[in-house]
Structure 1
Amino acid sequence: MKINLGKFFLYLFIIFNIQLIASEYKWSASINKKSAFINEPIYLKYICEFNDSGSLYTIDFNPIGKFEKYNILVLKEDEKIINNKRINTYEYIAYVKEKGKVDFDFDVVMKKTTQDSIVELTGGMDNDMEMEQFFNTYLKQKLLSVNIQESKSSLLGDFNIKIKKDKLIKKAFSPFHLEIKINGSGNFQDIKDIKFDINNVKVFSQKPTQELSLTKQGYTGTWSQKFAFVADKDFSIEEFKIEYMNPEDALKKNLIIKKIDVKVTKAYEKENLLDKEEEIFEFSYDYLYLILSFISGFILAKIKFKKEKTIDNDSILFKEKLNNVKSLDELLIILVLQDCIKYDKIIKEIENKQITSLAQAKKSIFSS
């Protein structure tokens, strides 16, 4: 077989000189803490700086995930060209699960293609022989270490609490609304649902909601939970504490919900009812006198007087509550308190979202 020496030496030239025309790069890594507590956010930063545009390189670096000793979350991954030089930046947040020394020892693969270099050297000759090649370089990132200490509380961060409460005087069976908001930065995911148990008070609560963003300090934002308390007598929500530790000073602290006293009045007074008792039949005694003057007694005896209508106050109160209800949640409370057995079917249909509007629910109630 005849060997084309020109092509052979050309390929040797390409292989031995590929490093000369390829991009060079430099990795660096940093950690923001030498010591931290369990569940305290740790900021990791990795930078790859190229000597040129780095167009021949693809970086394979992905340390994100849940591991035995720690969890890694991505904060930011970025690529920029500054002064015709490529810079890749990788920022992560680590949460360590156990005490002791922890090493962040990650691998990275630098993948390089030679196709552009070959075309550049050959000037486009022999295009029918595509010689795209890939070279993978396996590297160890700089070892980053941190000493982890046991924390005094499972909840770590810098928090403050705000309480939004309803009027402290409520009518019987009218819900007293309460919202608890925790703001700040820390491991919000470890805040447990708040539960209240008060004698003779029906407590309704929503699942907590979180509006969070990940920062260098960990999660920052708001955690909140809403409640409704229903009773027919005065009641108190006792003082409640949520324990946490601020890693800045390593002191154990408390978020405090102070005692709340709620006064409950009668639902409706008789004089405030919309439908007052009425006289159904009014009889004029002057007219009676005329009748007696002109009509004989046996005719008078046949006159039938209508009895006054008896009003069911419980029914009126119930209808009044239905007319004033503004949401399906409030309606659910009223039905449970009014007669959970009688309205069991409607209650289940609301809970299962078979009934989705107030109009539909009221129609079912009035037809039951």
Structure 2
Amino acid sequence: MKTVVKSLIIIFILTLELFSSVNLNSANSFVKGEPFTFELEVTGSSIKFPKIEKIDSYVVQNLGTSRSLQIINGNYSEKISQKFQILPQKDFTIPSFTFEIDGVEIQSPSRKITQRIVNKTISNNFDLQLNASKQEAYVGEDILLKLIFKYKKSLQITNLGFEPPHFENFWYKKVDNKNRRYEENGYIVQELEYLLFPQKEGKLKVNPLAIIVQLVNQNSNYGNFSFLSVPVEKRVYSNSLDFDIKPLPKSVNLIGDFDINATIDKTEIKEGESVSLKLDIKGVGNFDDLEDFKLDIQNATIYDNKPQIKTAYSKKGFEGSYEKIFSIVPSSSITIPSFKLRYFDKTQKKVIEKETKEFKVKVNSLNKQEISSKLEKSNEPKEIEKVIEKSITLKDKLLYFSLGSLVTILIFGLYIYARIYKQKTKEDKPLIKKLKSCKTKEEMLKLLLPYLKYDSQLDELIFECEKTKDFKGTQKAIISLVKQLDIKG
């Protein structure tokens, strides 16, 4: 009897193994900066998936589930496939996960994934080239990076997908150049330009960028009906670039050539009046690293606005202007101190310090005669307008009452409409609501991973969210940016 029971158990286990399985489908390598996708495929009649939220500190994004029913030798089983995505930065291992299949725990296979260094794509059909205006620079100095993509005019391309770059250790902005698409020697050429600003010294690297090309499969069996064939997707990689970045002298964070100037509208005022001071900075250099200027003067109340900073790239380099206006109300005669600006001049290879001149403002006290004159003017009786009374009939009263009632109803209706419209416009979009409800950075990263490569600023905040300890601060910054980008989700 015991032998029969053992035999049945063995047959049962063999049957489970025959019709139950867990497969891991993925590549063995990844490219840094590109999302890595893997799939877990499970077969069985009753399947319970584990929760997969993190792998080696990387947040896992569930891309969706697919189901299918299959019959093998008259036995029914279900196949469930789940796709996942992460954004790895170094080698990692997909661990073994425990699945419950038909009441039995089965382990999925594990797999080590290594970082793959991509090389420039060599092809007669495509070419993607990175060129830099300089390979040696100082921290904060602008570097013009040009991306040139060309492809054969004869190719039937259905779509081009450029993945927005993430330049590690560089702050960057796109240069807006129009009409950068042209034909050359049988190729279509497209150009993009970026300004890079190195954020640290040392040997820095820009890894190859990629463009995803979808084109008609010319080797398909559809002949002249090429529109019926499934497009072929190909990644075209650029070359990489190496930079030697030198440090700036201590206590200096600006590099370039700047001029600073300050002006005031008057040097003598009466007590209670204000002086307007305007601060101007113009030149070529890293204006985005310019610190805000403040004023602190005893015996004076100071109001200031946010500085107006305008920048543009020209043949001279990264040109800009900084303008700020202060309104100063002194209670007695004061001296407005000079403003100082220190920067590194690459041509002279030394630190330059420039400053504005200081201003003396004389405040004249009001005398007794002026005070009494002001008081007399304020106490003068105002002219009283005569009101002409007019007799009003009962008919007039009824007409006025009707008109008043109608106007009241209209005003009330407009008020209700305005309240409803305002409430509707204030309602957050679904994605904003989800982001606000996130309690941890893991929840937020799950929501944001599908929008990776949507915007360079958003990419930086996503990476910052994964590392930051100030989750609330980063959450506010992300919500504010998503509102500006008007992302639908």
TM normalised by structure 1 equals: 0.60
SS at match of 1:122: coil
Residue equivalent to 2:174: 74
CA offsets 1:149-200 (integer angstroms, 9 cap, x no match): 1112112222112323111111112101101011122222222222222221
What's the counterpart of residue 189 of structure 2?
Answer: 87
In structure 2, relative to structure 1, the CA distance for the partners of 1:59 and 1:249 (3 Å cut) is farther
Distance in 2 between the 1:253 and 1:84 partners? 51
CA positional deviation for 1:241: 0.9
Q: Is the 8 A contact 2:132 2:144 kept in 1?
A: yes
Report deviation, 1:252.
Answer: 0.9
1:240 to 339, 353, 362: 339
For the residues of structure 2 that align with 1:99 and 1:314, how far apart are their CA atoms?
Answer: 68
Q: 1:150 corresponds to which letter in structure 2?
A: P
Shift of 1:269: 6.8
Report the residue type matching 2:195 in the other structure.
Answer: I
Q: 1:131 to 1:64 in 2, by over 3 A?
A: closer
CA contact (8 A) 1:23 1:52 kept: no
Q: 2:330 aligns with which of 224, 227, 231?
A: 231
Q: 2:285 aligns with which of 186, 198, 204?
A: 186
Please give the residue correspondences for 1:164-243 in structure 2 after superposition, counting only pairs within 5 Å.
Answer: 164-215=263-314, 219-243=318-342
Pairing 1:26–2:127 present: yes
Structure 1 residue runs of 5 or longer lacking an equivalent are 1-21, 277-310, 317-368
Deviations 1:250-271 (A, max 9, x none): 321123111111111234672x
**How many Å separate the matches in 2 of 1:268 and 1:116?**
94
Matched, 1:149 2:250: no
Alignment of 1:351-366 (within 5 A): none
User: Residue type of the partner of 1:143?
Assistant: S
Partners in 2 of 1:188 and 1:151 — Cα distance? Answer: 15
Report the Cα distance in structure 1 between the residues aligned to 2:193 and 2:162, rounded to whole angstroms: 12
Conserved 8 A contact 1:23-1:54:
no
Q: Is the 8 A contact 2:127 2:236 kept in 1?
A: no
The offset of 1:215, in angstroms, is: 4.8
47, 50, 67: which one aligns with 2:148: 47
Residue 226 of structure 1, CA deviation: 0.8
1:276-355, aligned counterparts within 5 Å? Answer: 276=373, 312=375
Equivalent residue in structure 1 for 2:223, among 104, 122, 136: 122
Residue number in structure 2 paired with 1:136:
234
Give the CA deviation at 1:146: 1.3
On the 8 A contact 1:23/1:56 being kept in 2, the answer is no
Q: CA deviation at 1:313?
A: 6.9
User: Take 2:377 and 2:166, find their aligned partners in 1: how far apart are those partners?
Assistant: 60
Per the TM alignment, residue 38 of structure 1 is displaced from its structure 2 partner at its CA by 0.7
Cα 1:52–1:229 shift into 2, 3 Å: same
Q: CA RMSD in A?
A: 3.2
8 Å Cα contact 1:39/1:154 also seen in 2: yes
Change (3 A) 1:158 1:313: farther
Number of the residue aligned with 1:322: none
Q: 1:65, 1:114 → 2: CA distance?
A: 30
Q: Tell which deviates more after alignment, 242-251 or 197-206.
A: 242-251
Counterpart AA for 1:237: I
Task: Identify if the C-alpha distance between structure 1 residues 52 and 240 changes in structure 2 by more than 3 Å, giving closer, same or farther.
Answer: same
Distance in 2 separating the partners of 1:97 and 1:159: 20
Are residues 115 and 57 of structure 1, via their aligned partners in 2, closer, same or farther at CA, if it must alter by over 3 Å?
A: same
The whole-number CA distance in structure 2 between the counterparts of 1:62 and 1:246 is 36
Code of the aligned partner of 1:174: E
Contact 1:75/1:215 (8 A) holds in 2: no
Residue 221 (structure 1) shift: 2.3
Q: Is 1:102 matched with 2:204? A: yes
**Per-residue CA shift, 1:269-296, capped at 9, x if unaligned?**
72x67x85xxxxxxxxxxxxxxxxxxxx
Give 1:11-22 correspondences, 5 Å limit: none
2:142 pairs with 1:38: no
Whether contact under 8 Å (2:156, 2:215) holds in the other structure is no
| Deviation per residue, 1:85-112 (Å, 9 max, x gap) | 3101121111111111111112314423
Letter in 2 for 1:134: V
Q: Which has the higher contact order (CA 8 A, sep 6+)?
A: 1
- Relative to 1, partners in 2 of residues 1:202 and 1:76: Cα closer, same or farther, differing over 3 Å? closer
AA partner of residue 157 (structure 2): L
Code of the aligned partner of 1:37: Y
Shift in CA distance, 88/163, structure 1 to aligned 2, threshold 3 Å: same
Letter in 2 for 1:26: D
Bigger Rg over Cα: 1
Number of residue-to-residue matches in the alignment: 253
- The AA in structure 1 aligned to 2:135 is K
- Give SS of 2:288's match: helix
User: Residue 135 of structure 1 aligns to which amino acid in structure 2?
Assistant: E
Change in 2 beyond 3 A, CA 1:269/1:218: farther
Cα deviation, 1:188-220, whole Å, max 9, x if unaligned, reads 222222222222112221121212234576642
Contact 1:176 1:230 in 2 (8 A): yes
Question: Which residue in the other structure is 2:94 paired with?
Answer: none
Change in Cα spacing, 1:53 to 1:188, as seen in structure 2 (3 Å) is farther
Q: In structure 1, give the amino acid aligned to 2:153.
A: D
Matches of 2:181 and 2:262, distance apart in 1 = 43
Judged with a 3 Å threshold, the aligned counterparts in structure 2 of structure 1 residues 232 and 73 are, in CA distance, closer, same or farther, namely closer
TM-score, length-scaled by structure 2: 0.46
Contact 1:93 1:218 in 2 (8 A): no
CA contact (8 A) 1:64 1:72 kept: no
- Unmatched 5+ residue regions in structure 2? 1-122, 380-489
Identity among equivalent positions (%) equals 21
